[in-house]
Chain A
Amino acid sequence: MADLTSNFVGITSPNPFWLASAPPTDKEYNVRRAFEAGWGGVVWKTLGSEGPPVVNVNGPRYGVIHGADRRVLGLNNIELITDRDLFQNLEEIKRVKADYPDRAIIVSLMVPCEEEAWKAILPLVEDTGADGIELNFGCPHGMAERGMGSAVGQVPEYIEMVTRWCKQYYSKPVIVKLTPNITDIRKPAAAAMRGGADAVSLINTINSIVSVDLDVMAPEPTIDGKGTHGGYCGPAVKPIAMNMVAEIARTPETSKLPISGIGGITTWRDAAEYMALGCGNVQVCTAAMTYGFKIVQEMKSGLSQWMDEKGYSSIDDFKGMAVPNVTDWQYLNLNYVAKASINQDDCISCGRCFAACEDTSHQAILMSEDRVFTVNDAECVACNLCVEVCPVEDCITMVPQAPGTVDERTQKVVVKEHGDWTTHPNNPSAVAAE
Chain B
Amino acid sequence: MGNSAATSGIVSGRKDAQALSDSFKDLHAPLSDHEALVASDRCYFCHDAPCVTACPTSIDIPLFIRQIGTGTPEASAKTIFEQNILGGMCARVCPTETLCEQVCVREVAEGKPVEIGRLQRYATDTLMAAGVHPFERAATTGKTVGIVGAGPAGLACAHKLAVLGHDVTIYEARKKGGGLNEFGIAAYKSVNDFAQKELDWLLSIGGITIRYGMALGEDMSLSALQADHDAVFFGMGLGGVNALRCEGEALENVTNAVDFISDLRQAADLSQLAVGRHVVVIGGGMTAVDVAVQSKLLGAQDVALVYRRDKDSMSASVYEQELATSKGVRIIYNAQPLRVLREAAGLSVEFAYTETEGGSLTQTGETFCLPADQVFKAIGQSLTGAPEALALQGGKIKVDANGRTSAPKVWAGGDCATGGDDLTVTAVAEGRDAALDIHTTLLG
A residues with CB within 8 A of B: 68-70, 348-352, 354-355, 367, 371, 391-392
In the assembled complex, B368 has its CB within 8 A of some CB on chain A: no
Min distance, Cβ B60 to any Cβ of chain A, angstroms: 14
User: In the bound complex, what is the Cα–Cα distance between A88 and B42 (angstroms)?
Assistant: 49
Q: Which 7 residue pairs of A and B lie closest in terms of their CB atoms, listed nearest first?
A: A351-B47, A355-B47, A348-B109, A68-B41, A348-B105, A350-B46, A350-B105
Q: Interface size (B, Cβ < 8 Å)?
A: 14
Q: A68-B41, A355-B47, A392-B109 are in contact. List 13 more A-B contacts (CB 8 A).
A: A69-B37, A69-B38, A348-B105, A348-B106, A348-B109, A350-B46, A350-B47, A351-B46, A351-B49, A352-B46, A352-B47, A371-B50, A391-B44
In the assembled complex, B48 has its CB within 8 A of some CB on chain A: yes
Contact A69 B108 (CB under 8 A): no
Contact A349 B41 (CB under 8 A): no
Contact B106 A351 (CB under 8 A): no
Contact A69 B41 (CB under 8 A): yes
Min distance, Cβ B286 to any Cβ of chain A, angstroms: 29
Contacts of A351 in B (CB 8 A): 46-49
Closest to B42 in A: A68
User: In the bound complex, what is the Cα–Cα distance between A367 and B47 (angstroms)?
Assistant: 10
Contacts of B48 in A (CB 8 A): 351, 367, 371
Contacts of B109 in A (CB 8 A): 348, 392
Contact B41 A348 (CB under 8 A): no
Contacts of B106 in A (CB 8 A): 348
- Quick one: CB contact mask for B16-51 with A, threshold 8 Å, 1 for yes? 000000000000000000000110010011111110
User: In the bound complex, what is the Cα–Cα distance between A84 and B108 (angstroms)?
Assistant: 57
Contacts of B108 in A (CB 8 A): 348-349
User: In the bound complex, what is the Cα–Cα distance between A222 and B105 (angstroms)?
Assistant: 41
User: In the bound complex, what is the Cα–Cα distance between A69 and B36 (angstroms)?
Assistant: 10
Closest to B48 in A: A351
B residues with CB within 8 A of A: 37-38, 41, 44-50, 105-106, 108-109
User: In the bound complex, what is the Cα–Cα distance between A70 and B105 (angstroms)?
Assistant: 23
What are some 7 contacts across the A-B interface (CB < 8 A)?
Answer: A348-B105, A349-B108, A352-B46, A352-B47, A355-B47, A367-B47, A391-B44
Query: Which of A70, A351, A354 gathers most chain B CB within 10 Å?
Result: A351
Min distance, Cβ B71 to any Cβ of chain A, angstroms: 11
User: In the bound complex, what is the Cα–Cα distance between A69 and B35 (angstroms)?
Assistant: 10
Contact A352 B41 (CB under 8 A): no
User: In the bound complex, what is the Cα–Cα distance between A273 and B105 (angstroms)?
Assistant: 33
Min distance, Cβ B109 to any Cβ of chain A, angstroms: 4
User: In the bound complex, what is the Cα–Cα distance between A68 and B46 (angstroms)?
Assistant: 17
User: In the bound complex, what is the Cα–Cα distance between A371 and B50 (angstroms)?
Assistant: 9
Partner pick for A352 among B38, B45, B50, CB 8 A cutoff: B45
User: In the bound complex, what is the Cα–Cα distance between A69 and B106 (angstroms)?
Assistant: 17
Closest to B38 in A: A69
User: In the bound complex, what is the Cα–Cα distance between A69 and B38 (angstroms)?
Assistant: 5
Min distance, Cβ A201 to any Cβ of chain B, angstroms: 35
Contacts of A354 in B (CB 8 A): 47
Closest to A353 in B: B47
User: In the bound complex, what is the Cα–Cα distance between A68 and B105 (angstroms)?
Assistant: 18
Min distance, Cβ A396 to any Cβ of chain B, angstroms: 14
Closest to B53 in A: A371
Contacts of B105 in A (CB 8 A): 348-350
Min distance, Cβ A6 to any Cβ of chain B, angstroms: 38
Min distance, Cβ B405 to any Cβ of chain A, angstroms: 33
Closest to A351 in B: B47
Contacts of A350 in B (CB 8 A): 44, 46-47, 105
Closest to B34 in A: A70
Min distance, Cβ B39 to any Cβ of chain A, angstroms: 10
Contact B50 A349 (CB under 8 A): yes
Min distance, Cβ A70 to any Cβ of chain B, angstroms: 8
User: In the bound complex, what is the Cα–Cα distance between A348 and B105 (angstroms)?
Assistant: 6
Min distance, Cβ B106 to any Cβ of chain A, angstroms: 7
Closest to A349 in B: B105
Min distance, Cβ B47 to any Cβ of chain A, angstroms: 3
Contacts of A349 in B (CB 8 A): 46, 50, 105, 108
Query: Which of B41, B44, B49, B106 gathers most chain A CB within 10 Å?
Result: B44
Contacts of A68 in B (CB 8 A): 41
User: In the bound complex, what is the Cα–Cα distance between A70 and B37 (angstroms)?
Assistant: 9
Min distance, Cβ B389 to any Cβ of chain A, angstroms: 41
Contacts of A352 in B (CB 8 A): 44-47
Min distance, Cβ A88 to any Cβ of chain B, angstroms: 40
Closest to A71 in B: B41
User: In the bound complex, what is the Cα–Cα distance between A350 and B114 (angstroms)?
Assistant: 13
Closest to A359 in B: B47
User: In the bound complex, what is the Cα–Cα distance between A68 and B108 (angstroms)?
Assistant: 21
User: In the bound complex, what is the Cα–Cα distance between A355 and B41 (angstroms)?
Assistant: 19
